[in-house]
Amino acid sequence: MKHSLSESPEPASQQPTAYPGLIITEADRQGADLALARARAFAEPLIAGEDLDSGENTLAHADAVAAILRSVGGSEAMQAASYLVYACVHLNKPREVIAKAFGDNFATLAVETTQLMRVQRLSRSAQQVDDPAEQTEVVRKMLLAFSRDLRVVMLRLASRLQTLRYCAASKTPMSPRKARESLQVFAPLANRLGIWQIKWEMEDLAFRFLEPDTYKQVARQLDEKRIEREASMEALRHSLQEELTAQGIKATVQGRPKHIYSIVKKMRGKSLDFNQVFDIRALRVIVDNVEACYAALGWVHMRFVPVNNEFDDYIARPKPNGYQSLHTVVRQPASTGVDDADGARTGQGLPIEIQIRTQAMHDHAEHGVAAHWAYKEAGAKGYAGVSASSEYDAKIAVLRQLLAWERDLSGQAAPPAAGTHTAAEMLGDRIYVLTPEAAVVELPAGATPVDFAYSVHTNLGHRCRGAKVNGTMVPLNTPLQNGQTVEIIATKEGGPSRDWLNAELGYLVSHRARAKARAWFNALALHSTVARGREAVEKLLQREGKTAMKLDDLATQLGFKSADDLFEVVGKDEFSLRNIENLLRPPEPAPDPDELLLQRKSRTNENAPKGGVLVVGIDSLMTQLAKCCKPAPPDPIMGFVTRGKGVSVHRADCSNLREMATQNGERVIEVTWGSASGGAGKPTQSAVYPVDVAVEAADRQGLLRDISEVFAKEKTNVIGVQTQSIKGMAWMTFTVEVSDSTRLNKVLGVVREVSGVRSARRR
């Protein structure tokens, strides 16, 4: 087979019409021809008089698409659909009409393809900024959305190739957006599916519109001395085939088409001159089996001089899309006397690329997975000699290629671990719908209009109250389908419904949308808590006469970053207002001996001091229990003469007492607990004393209740509680009334036995 060196792949009419392994009988062929004829006859009166956006006649375009599909082994439904998709727009109920005339299989394929075309058209018209990255991503998403029926993707590939061919042949300008889309999305997809004859031609044609000057320059270089080059390569081809035959290797040697875009990529990627690109001189050797491939390779390396680092074994290590072949680059030995196309002798060592493969490998390289599209017609018994199980495996293999193609474009590093999910499952977990402006939105399968609203914008999700799908009002928990246009009806203000978080009602499927709705309610609860805390703090400041104090300054002094942080813990009852009181009230001033007034009274039972405390050596003197250490009998105690307030009674081990004694030791006096009869050493029987108890415990639900129950059972009255919880630990201060601190130690022993309590002690 001989190819022009200046053009992309051979015309479709020269391509084989069958795929090895697919046994198509004459009856099958006649049935296919009949279906195609009926489809064309059905569509012709509807589309014969109209043109596409490119200016091409619609019927002529459909004829060409059907021919392309036929050339790569496309099924009859695919070829017939090339006509039916353009007839759909003229039918009121296209699915019902086509199904009745041709069957459900034809109807589904035609309607799905029409829907994809509509989505692409709307999206393209809605894009105002020609952003290549955004454009590539949008088209990728749309193709993946409809890839569950793989034939739809194939129809779009063939249609785009025909549009490129028409624009090139008629010299009709093509928009840079469409050309870039063809080069960056459609051609890589064809490559991933292994349909090289479409891939190469699409790349060359798209490149021709994107960089016309570069295209013409390389084409002109290919055409220069093309006749001489082809003559020398034909001589080499003929010689190589005869020599392989003489070695007992049955082989067919062909010239290989030269692709301008591939040449330019290699020149740019490796900084090569035109004559250094190996693709300019290339041959393909086709043999019967794998053993013959390696035998031919061995002889070629003996016959020619291999170029170092230019050998690839894609048989032992196939490409991700299944491509297999041996690639090597060799040079003619010095003794060869064949003229090269550049006017030199090939004996000077110009490189030649040689590909070696079996016929099956070659057919797969030409047609890729196209022959497997027949799985839709296979049914339970299989199709064209291929069982349903193997067709299923082929379908899964193709889906894996679609996933790999998606990773190529999206920049993901590696495929999912083998055995975790099938490709069908992974492609089946997403849908793609449109906004009214035709922007594509990706959602998980089963997503609802509420999921859609949150995906567009968080605030739109909060305010969502209704939805239209393709112009029709639907319930908010309606599952969306691929390609639908969704319009959200929203209020000016408002928030989500709590019903949306009920999984059984099915309003939200997306984890991200559920998180956004839950965050709204959490923020609402936080706002209420902060408001409650603010109110409590402001009331305290009013009571203390400190309304002029700045709230942020107060929070900073208490160790909080902001006033709202303070309000939050106060609102949650995790921070006692007593801490604020202690901050606002000035410390007790040091006693002044000159202002001390002592009133001596006789020590009689009638004049016993309140609180059951006696000052040694003085008949009667006003006393008060210190709040810092809260003494209770039988604690050892000492007195400190204050300024105008009598004697302040402290526990003997009180740190404040020690500090005051250091500065004013002369004011420390002896005191003792009084008794009911007036004798020293025993307290009054009816007197009770407030004592602070500190409890540290692992925070849990019901902790405060359990500790309070202990005090109640032990008949210990609790008159105040402060709690604070930080990082799972709770710190509690209980103020209890006791008549005897010795009894308190027994109560604390019981408190320590409560679950989670780490320590319980008197402060």
Q: Is residue 30 part of a domain?
A: yes
Give the residue from 322, 327, 313, 326 showing the smallest Cα distance to 364. Answer: 322
- Per-residue pLDDT averaged across 257-275, rounded? 71
Residue 676: pLDDT over 60: no
Question: Do residues 573 and 707 both lie within one domain?
Answer: no
pLDDT band, residue 679 (cuts 50/70/90): very low
**How far apart are the two ends of the chain, measured CA to CA in Å?**
101
Q: Is residue 514 part of a domain?
A: no
Are 524 and 392 members of one domain?
no
Across the range 414-427, mean pLDDT stands at: 41
- End-of-domain residue from the set 533, 553, 584: 584
261 plus 334 within the same structural domain? yes
Residue 745 clears pLDDT 70, i.e. is over it:
yes
**335 pLDDT exceeds 60?**
no
Model pLDDT for residues 489-508, shown as the tens digit of each residue: 999 888 899 899 888 889 99
Neighbours of 531 (CB within 10 A): 12
Both tokens assigned to 293: 């491939």
On the question of pLDDT at 381 being above 90, the answer is no
Q: How many CA atoms lie within 13 A of 556 on its CB side?
A: 5
Residues 612-618 have a mean pLDDT of 66
Flag whether 213 is in a domain: no
User: 145 and 3: one domain?
Assistant: yes
**Helical packing angle, 260-270 and 196-210, nearest 10°:** 70
pLDDT digits (tens, 9 = 90+) for 353-364: 899 999 888 877
Query: Which of 530, 560, 584 is the C-terminal boundary of a domain?
Result: 584
Domain shared by 600 and 718, yes or no: no
137 and 245 together in one domain:
no
Tally Cβ neighbours within 10 Å of residue 577. 16
pLDDT for residue 429: 67
Reported as a single tens digit per residue, the pLDDT across 560-613 is 888 888 888 888 777 888 888 777 776 555 555 544 444 333 333 344 344 567
pLDDT of amino acid 75: 74
Annotate 349-382 with three-state secondary structure. CCEEEEEEEEHHHHHHHHHCCHHHHHHHHHCCCC
Let me know whether 244 and 342 are in one domain: yes
Q: Nearest Cα to 190, choosing from 363, 410, 398?
A: 398
Looking only at the bridges linking them, the beta strands covering 440-444 and 430-434 are antiparallel
- Decide which of 64 and 416 is more confident: 64
Write out pLDDT tens, residues 118-148.
766 666 655 544 555 665 666 666 666 555 5
> Where residue 675 falls among pLDDT bands split at 50, 70, 90?
low
748-759 burial code (b ≥16 CB/10 A, e <16): beebeeeeebee
Burial bucket for residue 644 (CB in 10 Å: 0-12, 13-18, 19+): exposed
Q: Is residue 372 part of a domain?
A: no
Structure tokens at 21: 């392994």
Residue 323 has pLDDT above 90, yes or no: no
Contact by Cβ (8 Å): 112, 148: no
Q: Is residue 375 domain-resident?
A: no
Is 144 in contact with 122 (CB distance < 8 Å)? no
Confidence check: pLDDT of 419 > 50: no
Is 417 in the same domain as 436?
Answer: no
pLDDT at 357: 93
Flag whether 150 is in a domain. yes
How buried is residue 711: exposed, middle or buried, by Cβ count under 10 Å (0-12/13-18/19+)?
middle
Using alpha carbons, select from 179, 86, 173, 171 the residue that is nearest to residue 124: 179
pLDDT band for position 410 (cuts 50, 70, 90): very low
Q: Is the pLDDT of residue 201 over 80?
A: yes
Q: pLDDT: is 260 or 303 the higher one?
A: 303
Beta carbons of 723 and 700 less than 8 angstroms apart? no
Q: Tell whether 230 and 338 lie within a shared domain.
A: yes
Q: What is the spatial distance between Cα 334 and Cα 205, in angstroms, rounded to a whole number?
A: 39
* CATH number, residue 711: 3.30.70.260
What mean pLDDT, rounded, does the chain reach? Answer: 75
Q: Higher pLDDT residue, 393 or 60?
A: 60
Q: Are residues 433 and 565 in the same domain?
A: no
Confidence of residue 338 (pLDDT cuts 50, 70, 90): very low
Alpha helices in 88-194 (DSSP H): 94-102, 104-126, 132-145, 150-170, 176-181, 187-192
**Which amino acid is it at 302?**
M
Between 134 and 444, residue with greater pLDDT: 444
Lowest mean pLDDT among 210-224, 307-321, 386-400, 427-441: 386-400
Q: Quick: pLDDT tens for 223-233.
A: 655 666 667 77
Is it the case that residue 447 has pLDDT exceeding 70? yes
Task: Say whether pLDDT at 751 is over 80.
Answer: yes
Residue 330 lies in a domain: yes
Contact partners, residue 518, CB within 8 Å, separation at least 6: 501
What confidence category does residue 177 fall into, taking pLDDT thresholds of 50, 70 and 90?
A: confident
Rounded Cα distance, 550 and 413, in Å: 54
Same domain membership, residue 656 and residue 702 = no
Return the CATH number at 90.
1.10.3210.10
Query: In whole angstroms, what is the distance from residue 85 CA to residue 90 CA?
Result: 10
Q: What per-residue confidence (pLDDT) applies to 279?
A: 55
Residue 344 has pLDDT above 60, yes or no: no
pLDDT band at 467 (very low <50, low <70, confident <90, very high): very high
Per-residue pLDDT, 140: 62
Number of separate domains in the chain: 6
> What own/partner pairs with CB < 8 Å and gap ≥ 24 does 583-588 have?
583/554, 583/557, 583/558, 584/541, 584/544, 584/546, 585/544, 588/642, 588/648
Phi, psi of 614 (to 5 degrees): -115, 140
Supply φ then ψ for residue 155, to 5 degrees.
-60, -40
Whole-number percent of the chain with pLDDT over 70:
71
Q: How confident is the model at residue 438 (pLDDT cuts 50, 70, 90)?
A: low
Q: CA 173, CA 627: separation in Å to the nearest integer?
A: 93
Q: What is the CATH number of the domain that holds 326?
A: 3.30.460.10
- Residue 229 structure tokens: 């080059």
Residue 627 banded pLDDT, cuts 50, 70, 90: confident
Average pLDDT over residues 450-455: 93
For residue 526, being part of any structural domain is answered with: yes
Final residue in a domain of this structure, among 479, 509, 539 = 509
Q: Show the domain range for 606.
A: 593-673
Same-domain pairing of 535 and 639: no
Ramachandran angles phi, psi of 289, nearest 5°: -150, 175
Q: State pTM to two decimals.
A: 0.48
What CATH number is attached to the domain comprising 449?
A: 3.10.20.30
Residue that is written with structure tokens 């075309």 in the block: 117
